[in-house]
A = this chain, B = another copy of it.
């Protein structure tokens, strides 16, 4: 079965529907996952670079989140065999495709804020 028809099928069944969503939720939930993914959308980075760009995350958390993202197939960890050794993190194919999800969330987030403000003004 093609992916497209599979998608259509899932959208009809409430149970499958929620399961597929949770697959995506898993990928981005946790306090830092979105920050890390967003950071890597701007290009591959090393551990300390991510740490800087994310801000105020401690190494234990960063290490943990990176491991989970890697296990989930969102990012990949590569050891460059140049000297000195450099370890670089980057998004996988799946990881890159998450951008569509994040973009949909941004569109909604901004629209939602606008709608909420409008209702406040009108005293609703």
Contact = CB atoms under 8 A, between A and B. Distances in A.
Interface of A: 3, 6-7, 10-11, 14, 17-25, 27-29, 34-35, 38-39, 42, 53, 73, 93-94, 97-98, 100-116, 119
A112 B100 contact: no
A34 B34 CA distance: 18
- Most chain B CB within 10 A, of A18, A23, A104, is at A104
B104 A104 contact: yes
B34 A14 contact: no
B3 A111 contact: yes
Nearest to A113: B23
Given A3-B114, A6-B110, A21 B105 contact: yes
